[in-house]
A and B are shown apart, each in its own frame.
Chain A
Amino acid sequence: MTCDSIATFIPLYYYGELTPEEEDGVEEHIHQCRDCAHAMEQQRVLAAALDRRDMQVPPLLLEDCRADLIAAVHGGVSQLTAPVRSSVKKGPWRLFLDAVADSLSNLGRLRQPIGAVALVAIGFFGARLTTPRPAAVAHPAASDDNTFTTVRSVQPDNTGGVQIAFDETRRRVEHGRLDDPRIQSLMLAGAHEDNPAVRWESMDLLNYREGATEVRDALLNAVAQDTNPGVRQKALEKLKPLASDPEVRKTLSRVLLTDDNDSVRMQVVDLLVAHRDDYMVGLMQGLVQRERNDSLRLKLEKALKDMNASVGTF
């Protein structure tokens, strides 16, 4: 191999894109050629400097992007109208989200604005769709304010027109007291809705009363299985009066070991330490040894001290 061909191979060698024979050729050459060995070193220095330039994605940004996407997807028609927001000019979707987020930002609870944005977005875009317009094509929902339309696909058809597939949902409104069994059953149904904002709102309104095992089970189910950490946290909040219930403590100990969200786990510790039992102390003593999150580890240590238990297991 010549120095010219080695120059071409150096980045490919570094990134492991050469055949074994080519790799052998490069190694043999740089072993004998000081200039090419230097070029290889330059490649390594460059790669190391570039590694340090790598940007880590802020977790909140990722959560924010996901919430925006879910809101847009659940908003149905927004996906067809939302333009890419430019840094100079904001589109209607962004302006709408900004306005709602601004009006809710003083609530101080991150998940609530996100959930509320999703809820309001459904109403906003649903209302836009169902507002009667002097459209050339009759809209099935145009005559009924309680029918909501979600467009699933828009494609050109063979005749030069457009084929639109959409779902229609009819809305009914029920009023009643929170202890009304009919309202309770609707709220329990809301706890299983696809939309995390609806699940969050349902959790917020569900209140445990003596003997209402279906409410307790719905809350436990949300804590253990809901994919949205905001919903899990809201369910945990509502489980406070049940912190001594053995079934609740069993689920909470499982969540403490398995949940991937540190805020949820922090909240679980708060609930668990409210009532001391030996099993829980053992669980926390084991966990404190291997916990990676500093805040959570400190919280566990403090909880153990508060319960007069040793921090380590012996």
Chain B
Amino acid sequence: MNESQLLTDMAAIIAMSAPLLLATMGVLIGERAGVINLSVDGSMLLAGMTGFAVALTSGSVVLGFVAAALVGAIVATLVAYLGISMRLSQTAVGFVLALLCTDLSSFLGNPYVQQQGPAVPAWDVPVLAEIPVIGPLLFQHDVVIYTSMMVVLVLAWVLRATRVGLLVRGVGERPDALFARGIDVVRMRYVAVIVGGVLIGLAGAAYTLDLKQGWTYRHIAGTGWIALAIVIFGAWQPARIALGCYLFAVLQVMSSRMQANTWEIPTQVLQVAPFVVMIVVLAIVNSMGTPWMQRFLAHAPARVRRILTRISQPAPAALGQPFEQQ
């Protein structure tokens, strides 16, 4: 493999990760505020289908993205209402909505299957695109891909350095304390989940209007579940989650590369390789706090111990629990 091929591959990886970045950031916002939106997989499909249908009928890609964001927000509002206000199990509600939205997307999207539709045009960033290596890598894509990278940076900054970020983290960690200081915990969570839903909706449209350019039944089914897993892998830290998204894309490119070579393994098997890696990585990351790992760490060299303990970060303390007013 020569250098220009490597550069093309890496640029492709960055482009492929864009929808996943949007979706994981959407999941992250909700989870940092203490709410699991398990509906991502179906939500993305329904939003992607709606976005494509709207863009196709109106001829406007922008309107498509607006519609997709709206669908994501509506599903998120349902999750919030049932999970926060009605205090139903967030897991149950999210799971059922994931299946329901998937079927809805198949049913309502029936007329739009395999139609030619509008897509996001490529747009090089002026000046920056001319820089060697970095230009083709980062600045010769389209607006959706630039936006997804911006979202990660902005979200990392908001969570770390602003009052709003502090409040979001607060309602996810210690809702009682914030309530005692006069913060409306329930409203805060609603806002976080719905903003997250908007990003999840945009992620769906990023597939149908940009990356995959078109709509077929369940074509991105599974991506939402991967997004949820990457958030855990990334220990609820934006930068690490972004890294997880890129790693996942690397795996996908690698498995399609191996198919191109004449390997003994049937092609279909390699497509499940990223999931095996996902389980193994989740197992390693999550087992840090367990007693047997602690025993192992006690015998491990200090440097190994430091690295391993840094990998593991606990989930937001109030994740998945409804807020009970005292």
A and B interact:
no
Instruction: Spell out A's residues near B (CB within 8 Å).
Output: none
